[in-house]
Homo-oligomer: A and B are copies of this chain.
């Protein structure tokens, strides 16, 4: 799956920014891939991109319209279908992160056929994966793991990949979730893979590289989340990381969506090593990435300094303070670029 850019981001008429978080994530990381946003009457989300009709998007060179918003209930409203058909008729491919398959809707399927355009459903994999093999492959890999879901693993991995490249390492980002796939133009929504093939899909998406080439892999779930730990485990085994970064949100007390208490950072480090060494015997933690949005800058600095002393690891907020200290740790542990 390789999604062509420039993108036109379709936001529909969603009632708030949260419903458009996929589009907002794309703009955060790939503004230069985006030529505009298309919003229907009543849309309350705004990515900050220029508003364009679908026709204007096509005239300005857009190659793919991304359905970057989710409506309530996960279904595709009739007037969104009309917009998607219009995009296909205007010569764009269409990519969606919705649960419903674009091609399952006859009007969309027919419009794609009629125009010879591609439909991408990033929540539905068309790739056939082998089961994971666990054989150590060359190249260096960093995985973002978390004390919970939605604690900044994608952001951390993207920021780490960017910082690594800026410091002279050869690094690429491996997407494992839908927004990440749009940001990188390829990847696998791991949570949508058939269970038998989780680690195999993770092996596929972070393949063998030269020994001095790095891949930074977006994490999924948490080994301590009772809904999603199976995905996390398969990703850990399949990506066989040389190093991992623990992502954390300090104000949370329960795992997202359930009543399970949050684990400590130490528990996550210990369990990630205990499980991860099956396929990566020297796996180690190289840093802690914290979403400190709820803290003042002074409190955030103090909190991170405390974590750093407690764990003997660099601790940072990727948004506020960057990833330099964790790249320093890579340099210390694995050598300069």
List chain B residues, Cβ under 8 A from A235.
230
Bits for A67-93, please: 1 = Cβ < 8 Å to B, else 0.
000000000000000000000000000
Contact of A191 among B194, B233, B278, B279 (CB under 8 A): B194
Bits for A190-234, please: 1 = Cβ < 8 Å to B, else 0.
111111101110000000000000000000000110111111111
**Known interface pairs A195-B231, A195-B234, A274-B271; A134-B190 also in contact (CB < 8 Å):** no
| Interface stretch (choices A26-34, A55-63, A254-262, A284-292) | A254-262
Do B230 and A234 touch across chains, with their CB atoms under 8 A apart? yes
Closest to A238 in B: B226
Closest to A198 in B: B230
Closest to A130 in B: B227
A231 vs B257: C-alpha distance in the bound complex, in angstroms?
21
A131 at the interface (CB under 8 A from B): yes
A95 vs B222: C-alpha distance in the bound complex, in angstroms?
36
Contact of A131 among B198, B223, B228 (CB under 8 A): B228
Bits for A240-265, please: 1 = Cβ < 8 Å to B, else 0.
00000000000000010111100000
Do A258 and B196 touch across chains, with their CB atoms under 8 A apart? no
Q: Which of A93-149 contact B (CB under 8 A)?
A: 131-135
A237 at the interface (CB under 8 A from B): yes
Work out how many copies of this chain go into the complex. 2
Contact of A195 among B223, B230, B275, B279 (CB under 8 A): B230
Closest to A136 in B: B259
A228 vs B131: C-alpha distance in the bound complex, in angstroms?
8
**A295 vs chain B, min Cβ distance (A):** 28
Do B224 and A229 touch across chains, with their CB atoms under 8 A apart? no
List chain B residues, Cβ under 8 A from A223.
233, 275
List chain B residues, Cβ under 8 A from A275.
223, 229, 271
**Known interface pairs A230-B231, A237-B229; A198-B199 also in contact (CB < 8 Å):** no
**A168 vs chain B, min Cβ distance (A):** 33
List chain B residues, Cβ under 8 A from A196.
191-192, 227-228, 231
**A97 vs chain B, min Cβ distance (A):** 14
Do A195 and B191 touch across chains, with their CB atoms under 8 A apart? yes
**Known interface pairs A191-B194, A194-B194, A195-B234; A258-B135 also in contact (CB < 8 Å):** yes
A223 vs B200: C-alpha distance in the bound complex, in angstroms?
15
A238 vs B231: C-alpha distance in the bound complex, in angstroms?
13
Closest to A133 in B: B258
A234 vs B71: C-alpha distance in the bound complex, in angstroms?
29
A228 vs B259: C-alpha distance in the bound complex, in angstroms?
27
Q: A199-B226, A226-B278 are in contact. List 16 more A-B contacts (CB 8 A).
A: A131-B227, A132-B258, A133-B259, A134-B255, A134-B258, A191-B194, A192-B195, A199-B230, A224-B278, A229-B234, A230-B231, A230-B233, A230-B234, A230-B237, A260-B279, A271-B274
